[in-house]
Structure 1
Amino acid sequence: MKKSLIALAALSAVAGSANAQTSVTLYGVIDTGIEYVNRVATAPTTLSPSLTGVAPVGKRFDMNGNGGLSASRWGLRGVEDLGGGLKAIFTLESQFTPDTGAFAGNTGIFNRQAYVGLSNQYGKIAFGKQYSSLAEGMLNFSPTRAAPAYEPGVWWLGINYRPANTIKYKGEFGALSAAAHYSFGAGVGLTSLSTGGALYNGGAGETPGAHRDDTAWGASVSYLNDQFGLGIGYDQWNPAATVGNPGKVRKAGIAGSYSFGPAKLMAGYRWGDQTYANGRTAMRDDYWFAGVSYRVNAALDLQLAYFYSNIKQLALSNSSAPINPANPQQVSFVADYAFSKRTDVYLTTAWAHNGSLANDGPFTGYLFNYAQAPGQKNMVGALVGIRHVF
């Protein structure tokens, strides 16, 4: 009996040691609220030359499903210590709309991130669906912290900012971070521009005999400490509307931040060039942003941001004549009050001119349901919401 007790104690010690080396964390965010938007149209099924939405047009008062400050999501992340400083890692993350409980975009369960990899003191290498290198290098400089309601984040980083079928390296060395990735098929299933000369369509990639279809790659480097930050990055995606005929979407960005006392300044620039498979320009644009955040006290944080897009050239198909549309610009304001580290309430508002909120349109896949009404010059939105982090 005594020997049995000793053996049981030994087995328990081994099991406890194994459990101490492995951890799995459940985490998530739920964010929703009540929103008012004026002069908004429904997303179009076909595009007009003005790139605007279609009827019905008018005011909208409803519950926001995209989130005001954060996209609602839940996930699992795990790590296992393999010894010698080497660890196995994984992340599975799912985005959903809290107003209905449905998966965002009617996509698969782990639609946000799904990867497995290895890490050590020199960084980590991961395989699967994960953030692009440009997103890794730029998101720390977002004026409203990549709030999905009214910041043009998808316009900034591209709809391929979370490519599938991706191998990525990321290393963190004190305040310095570096990332590089390659996608064998970005897997973005959104259609942009007209079907007669689409720039990107199904986005499946990994096609036999057409190895460049929907591939993507990029790299970034950033430096961020308590006072100063600077990031630079590049992203290229080769979307194929038809097999063997990839276009090209290229983006390069630089951004920085400076903190002093309770205030933080942020600014950045993104160059963009998108071309059809025949080499004709689909869109050439420059995107600028600037913002300031101010910590009033331990609970209240204020953010003010300005976004400007200079659309130099735009062609609705690979054979149409280029146009030079009016340049969209937007002002956004956020007041965020924290009850605790996990729960806060907020007011976020925005005014857009010569476009729709968050630059929502064909080049963002109408992801945020802010289609611009025909003939309009201005759009205003306001959202009062609550967010809980777990």
Structure 2
Amino acid sequence: MKIQSIAAASLLACASAAQAQSNVTLYGVVDANVEYATNMATTGGGSGNRAALVSGGLSGSRWGMRGVEDLGGGLSGIFVLESGFFVDTGTSGQGGRLFGRQAFVGLQSKSLGQISLGRQYTALFELMGNFAPMGYSNQYEPVPVMTGLNLRQDNMVVYKGSFGPVNVQAHWSFGTGVPSASPTGGGNGEVPGQFRRDSGYGAGVAYAAGPLGAALVYDQYNPSVAIGGGAFGSGTVRKAAVAGSYVFGPAKLMGGYRWGQNKDALGAVALRDDYYWLGAVYNATSALALSLEYSYEKIKTVNSAPSTGSNPWQLALLADYNLSKRTDVYLTAAYARNAGLVLDQAGTDLNSGGYPLAAGKTSMLGAAVGIRHKF
């Protein structure tokens, strides 16, 4: 018993010393729900309704570590390692990456801002976060439409600065990839002699003072695109967004507009669209928050030709009730027209993931009841 006590005391002392040096924090989110969705495409090309257990209704399930070390003179060393997973199957997210959500190290100055290196979020994703009515809800907020599939990028240098009511952010990626199912074809980047290939950059500014908030952001990604014969060119995916919000009493009204243009390796316009959103969050009680969001995508050009299809739109709602500071339960639902839920138009069958709308159908309805725990 004495030896065990000495060993335990030694381990605690080492742990305390490590914590004092680096202030390392373990954190995470576990989120799952039961969902029912209508008019989904089946593997055989038909239509069917689906009942399923889904991971990540409000937040993607994750665990991570973050640390801060005081270096003196207002300067700190920082790091974040964050891993995503699917709680319904226990498998890793982000294509099986160990730290696919975030992985970066950097320096933080109280007066000059922060610079970090690694896999991180784009300025478009981060600065638009305060203007997303559903709080970037995984299940029904059309985040990929708003920010693009490149919302996280590899090999990034990011700068963030806070100056009174103004926040600024800029990033540069030396080379990144997006999911292989993406119409851009994915990529690796950092190819000798091809500096532009798979590079990405963006910058923006946000303002928040009193009840008023606003943001303006630009994002560009230059993905690899196959041009035949085993050769690759570089496409151009551009987005620019502006958003605003206003708080009055227990309610917050917010909305925004995102301009988008995708060009192939030869400069032809593959997609030109406008995306609009408007919504509100109402804190009915200290424990209950209600959210409502309307999203609309106007598709102007597809493969260099004017779009002739109907424009997709969606109405989504969320009721989130906090049982404690760390555990909440929620009910969420959405109705989408001229696309699957979250304005999904890329999916062709259930194996592709997402919410592929069945052929011959014009709408999809989804509803889910879930629980989320944060630690």
TM norm structure 2: 0.90
Does residue 30 in structure 1 map to residue 58 in structure 2?
no
**What residue in structure 2 maps to residue 157 of structure 1?**
147
Does residue 134 in structure 1 map to residue 107 in structure 2?
no
Secondary structure at the counterpart of residue 371 of structure 1: coil
**What residue in structure 2 maps to residue 305 of structure 1?**
293
Secondary structure at the counterpart of residue 126 of structure 2: helix
Does residue 384 in structure 1 map to residue 374 in structure 2?
no
Q: Which runs of 5+ in 2 are unaligned?
A: 1-11
- Equivalent residue letter for 1:30: V
Does residue 335 in structure 1 map to residue 319 in structure 2?
yes
Secondary structure at the counterpart of residue 153 of structure 2: coil
Does residue 20 in structure 1 map to residue 10 in structure 2?
no
- Equivalent residue letter for 2:126: E
1:158 Cα deviation (Å)?
0.4
**Does the aligned pair in 1 maintain the 2:272–2:301 contact within 8 Å?**
yes
- Equivalent residue letter for 1:338: N
- Equivalent residue letter for 1:362: A
Distance change >3 Å, CA 336–CA 19, structure 1 → 2: closer
Give per-residue Cα distances to partners, 1:138-176, cap 9 Å, x unaligned. 111001000010010111000001111100101122331
Distance change >3 Å, CA 285–CA 275, structure 1 → 2: same
Does residue 108 in structure 1 map to residue 97 in structure 2?
yes
**What residue in structure 1 maps to residue 224 of structure 2?**
240
1:224 Cα deviation (Å)?
2.0
**Does the aligned pair in 1 maintain the 2:75–2:107 contact within 8 Å?**
yes
Give per-residue Cα distances to partners, 1:245-293, cap 9 Å, x unaligned. 1010000000111011111100100000001111111100000000011
Q: Which runs of 5+ in 1 are unaligned?
A: 1-11, 44-53, 194-199
More displaced 10-residue stretch of structure 1: 18-27 or 255-264? 18-27
Among 186, 190, 193, the alignment partner of 1:202 is: 186
Distance change >3 Å, CA 42–CA 13, structure 1 → 2: closer
RMSD of Structure 2 on Structure 1 (CA): 2.3
What is the aligned length? 358
Give per-residue Cα distances to partners, 1:346-378, cap 9 Å, x unaligned. 000000001111122339999852011112111
Distance change >3 Å, CA 18–CA 76, structure 1 → 2: closer
Among 166, 169, 172, the alignment partner of 1:176 is: 166
- Equivalent residue letter for 1:216: G
Distance change >3 Å, CA 327–CA 16, structure 1 → 2: closer
Secondary structure at the counterpart of residue 342 of structure 2: helix
**What residue in structure 1 maps to residue 356 of structure 2?**
371
Q: Kindly report which structure 2 residues correspond to 1:254-293, keeping only aligned pairs within 5 A, or say none.
A: 254-293=242-281
**What residue in structure 2 maps to residue 93 of structure 1?**
82
Distance change >3 Å, CA 14–CA 378, structure 1 → 2: closer
- Equivalent residue letter for 1:55: G
Q: How far apart in 1 are the matches of 2:196 and 2:285?
A: 52
- Equivalent residue letter for 1:76: M
More displaced 10-residue stretch of structure 1: 167-176 or 328-337? 167-176
TM norm structure 1: 0.87
**Does the aligned pair in 1 maintain the 2:347–2:356 contact within 8 Å?**
no
1:322 Cα deviation (Å)?
5.0
Q: How far apart in 2 are the matches of 1:210 and 1:13?
A: 51
- Equivalent residue letter for 2:214: L
Among 33, 54, 63, the alignment partner of 1:74 is: 63
**Does the aligned pair in 1 maintain the 2:121–2:153 contact within 8 Å?**
yes
Give per-residue Cα distances to partners, 1:299-318, cap 9 Å, x unaligned. 11100110000000112xxx
1:211 Cα deviation (Å)?
1.4
Distance change >3 Å, CA 170–CA 261, structure 1 → 2: same
Q: How far apart in 1 are the matches of 2:73 and 2:16?
A: 20
Does residue 84 in structure 1 map to residue 39 in structure 2?
no
Secondary structure at the counterpart of residue 347 of structure 1: strand
Among 227, 244, 260, the alignment partner of 2:211 is: 227
Does residue 118 in structure 1 map to residue 107 in structure 2?
yes
Distance change >3 Å, CA 144–CA 14, structure 1 → 2: closer
**Does the aligned pair in 1 maintain the 2:349–2:356 contact within 8 Å?**
no
Q: How far apart in 1 are the matches of 2:95 and 2:67?
A: 26
1:70 Cα deviation (Å)?
0.8
Q: How far apart in 1 are the matches of 2:344 and 2:132?
A: 17
**Does the aligned pair in 2 maintain the 1:130–1:164 contact within 8 Å?**
yes
1:83 Cα deviation (Å)?
1.5
**Percentage identity across aligned positions?**
49
Distance change >3 Å, CA 73–CA 143, structure 1 → 2: same
**Does the aligned pair in 1 maintain the 2:42–2:349 contact within 8 Å?**
no
